[in-house]
Structure 1
Amino acid sequence: MKVTVGPAQYIRNLDLLNEAGTYIKNFGKSAALIGGHTSLGIVEDSIRKSLSLVGASLLPSIWYGGESSETNINRLAEQLKSQNIDVLIGTGGGKAIDTVKAVAYKLNKPLVVIPTIAATCAAATPISILYSDEGEFIGIGRESKAPELVLVDSTIILKAPVRFLIAGIGDTLAKWFETRATIQKAEPNALNQTAIAIAAQVYKTLLQIGHEAIQSVESQSLTKAFEDVVDAIILVSGSVSGYGGDDCRTAGAHAIYSGLTIFPECHQTYHGEIVAFGILAQLCLESKTEELTDLIQYYKEIGLPFTLEQMGIKELTQQQWKKLGEITVTIEDMANMPFEVTPEMVIEAVQQADEIGKESLSVPL
């Protein structure tokens, strides 16, 4: 049995980047920084200065390429393999971090991750979600490594647009609904029972203080609720699949997310926002529509989408519906559901969730 629960070390603090070099130097004296354009602009100067203070150096920063794709992963690995680098540093959101995790695996280098938004648990998992160069979901990459160190600067996360935190809540909510479904196929043991308990607690935490954490970002005031939700999104949710392994993987919600990425209209909708809608569709697949009302009310309270139109999809042709159903059932996440799912079931579930969502638009908070 092999278990990779998450990163070896996780540190969160205010203005943490000012002392990042103190931690990064433990992995060597030369580093390469890879990430998104915005994230590089936020962190590079602080990291370079902090490293110089401890006698370490930083190569010129590198843009990750815009998608967590094989093209970008291979390009970066080829670009860096001849460089004198002791440690890789990945920064940004989920796609940037997943890209660097795969590059670190290929180069067999230590990895430090500095998320600049709390939108996914990518920083705490040993897998990479792979997309085409155009942004369509391809699959889950196992040739990826869990970071040796995750540095979370609370100041940076607090200053990020609030929509990222809302999307992170949406993605993290799915841990409970998907783990509850996938574990039905597993024989109970210490690890998967721990995973489902963590998933339940994370769900409870988000329902209780998610809105307060969002208000913290809107008012730019650091609160315990904000810090707890950040930890829940980035670290704790990643440990669910870490402990549960194949017994507690993503399922219908993420499969439906992946299917919806075939439509360019929703490419401006964040991962966690689409996953949140995927939860609603998964509940319809499971004939648990009685849970939708309360969940949609929570979505309305914090700003998550609950209709297709809210994600930019105004109308689909019969052929597009057919394609959505056919592609969604090929996503490996869907195989984790405790029953066989057909394309027709996917179409019906998405349409039903959308209809319930549209009916909820007229219901006051």
Structure 2
Amino acid sequence: MQALTDLENGSWTNALKRVIETNIVTSGLVGGFGNQYLRIAGAHSIHNGMTKIPHTHHLLHGEKVAYGILVQLVLENKFEELEQLLPFYESVHLPSTLADIGLTINQQAELLQIARFAVQPGEDIYLLFPNITVDEVLKAMTELENLMTNYVK
């Protein structure tokens, strides 16, 4: 928590530096040892779809992947894990709703575009869901939005 406080205060401290270095090293190890099989395959495919939507260009890579993690958990029907993550997401201000990523449920064309790009041939989402469809991704994003509407903080 000290590193988060330091970051919010704009202070470059050893605590913040250690957290950043740990994240970089850990990400490299996961990628190196497990290749694409240990990565968050569905989440990264959602990220890739979001990069095609100008409304989401203000988000960092990690923020797009964070939202994708929640969509992936819905696709996997892992709602308990999703709920366990939400307090952490809140504490570090990660996106968990369409509004957080710059969209609304009424922007179906943009949501459909994200889903279409997420399931293009060669996307990592197929490592988890070999028969995934555009409709399933769109439904998961909608379901996540409905869950977040009813989420009590």
**TM-score range normalised by the length of the shorter chain:** 0.7 to 0.9
Change (3 A) 1:222 1:354: same
- For 2:149 and 2:3, the matched residues in 1 are separated by 27
Structure with the larger helix share: 2
- For 1:336 and 1:346, the matched residues in 2 are separated by 15
The match for 1:352 is 143
- For 1:340 and 1:221, the matched residues in 2 are separated by 46
- For 2:19 and 2:146, the matched residues in 1 are separated by 30
**Contact 2:71–2:144 (CA under 8 A) maintained in structure 1:** yes
Matches within 5 A, 1:1-365: 211-219=1-9, 220=11, 222-224=13-15, 226-330=16-120, 332-360=123-151, 363-364=152-153
Root-mean-square deviation over aligned CA pairs: 2.1
Code of the residue aligned with 1:323 in structure 2: it is Q
The one-character-per-residue Cα deviations of 1:41-96 (angstroms, maximum 9, x if unpaired) are xxxxxxxxxxxxxxxxxxxxxxxxxxxxxxxxxxxxxxxxxxxxxxxxxxxxxxxx
The runs of 5 or more residues in structure 2 that have no matched partner are: none
Q: Give the SS at the match of 2:63.
A: helix
Paired residues, number: 151
The TM-score with structure 1 as length reference comes to 0.38
**Contact 1:259–1:328 (CA under 8 A) maintained in structure 2:** yes
Identity score, percent: 33
Tell me the CA shift for residue 300 of structure 1.
0.7
Tell me the CA shift for residue 248 of structure 1.
2.5
- For 1:262 and 1:246, the matched residues in 2 are separated by 22
Tell me the CA shift for residue 277 of structure 1.
0.7
The one-character-per-residue Cα deviations of 1:250-305 (angstroms, maximum 9, x if unpaired) are 40001011112221111111111111111000000000011111211111111111
Code of the residue aligned with 2:43 in structure 1: it is A
Structure with the larger strand share: 1
Code of the residue aligned with 1:238 in structure 2: it is G
The TM-score with structure 2 as length reference comes to 0.85
- For 1:297 and 1:288, the matched residues in 2 are separated by 16
**Contact 2:6–2:12 (CA under 8 A) maintained in structure 1:** yes
**Contact 1:296–1:357 (CA under 8 A) maintained in structure 2:** no
**Contact 1:307–1:355 (CA under 8 A) maintained in structure 2:** no
- For 2:96 and 2:51, the matched residues in 1 are separated by 16
Code of the residue aligned with 2:29 in structure 1: it is S
Tell me the CA shift for residue 322 of structure 1.
3.2
Q: Give the SS at the match of 1:332.
A: coil
**Contact 2:36–2:124 (CA under 8 A) maintained in structure 1:** no
